[in-house]
Amino acid sequence: MPTNQQNPGEQPVAKGWRMDPIPSRPAYKDEDGNVRIPIWLTKNGRHAADTEMVLLPSEAGLLNERLTDAIGDAPTTLQALLHADVIAKGPGVTVVSKLPHSA
């Protein structure tokens, strides 16, 4: 009868391809305005490559919304503001246009 040869507490290795964010390298915007997310590619638990996922700003926003929904966090007031016309963003500061979206 076969037995499980894994050590107790060891995580099972996912089969197939997997993408994981590189914890030491933050996402950033490139000179063309694309959002770049550094990732590790692995196949059957073995490192295959370091690369970047390149997203248009609209795609990054959609990914952000989908991840927030999947995690189950309720939208914050800041997230609601970010759906408005954002003029400028910086660390701790978001400037939103007073003009309505239809203007």
pLDDT of 26: 93
Let me know whether 38 and 68 are in one domain: yes
Q: What is the mean pLDDT of residues 74-84?
A: 60
- Indicate whether 52 belongs to any domain: yes
The helix (H) or strand (E) run that includes residue 69 is helix 57-71
Q: What is the mean pLDDT of residues 2-16?
A: 66
Let me know whether 27 and 62 are in one domain: yes
Torsion of the alpha carbons at 57, 60, 64 and 70, rounded to the nearest 10: 150
Q: Rounded distance, CA 43 to CA 45, Å? A: 5
Q: What is the mean pLDDT of residues 34-58?
A: 94
pLDDT of 97: 60
Has residue 103 got a pLDDT over 50?
no
pLDDT of 98: 61
Q: Is the pTM of this model over 0.85?
A: no
Beta-bridge mates of residue 93: 90
Task: Quote the strand ranges of 17-101, DSSP E.
Answer: 17-21, 28-29, 35-43, 46-55, 86-90, 93-96
Q: Rounded distance, CA 18 to CA 34, Å? A: 22
Q: What phi-psi label fits residue 81: left (phi over 0), alpha (psi between -120 and 50 degrees) or beta?
A: alpha
pLDDT of 31: 96
Let me know whether 50 and 80 are in one domain: no
- Indicate whether 1 belongs to any domain: no
Has residue 94 got a pLDDT over 80?
no
Q: Which domain holds residue 46?
A: 13-72
- Indicate whether 8 belongs to any domain: no
Has residue 76 got a pLDDT over 60?
yes
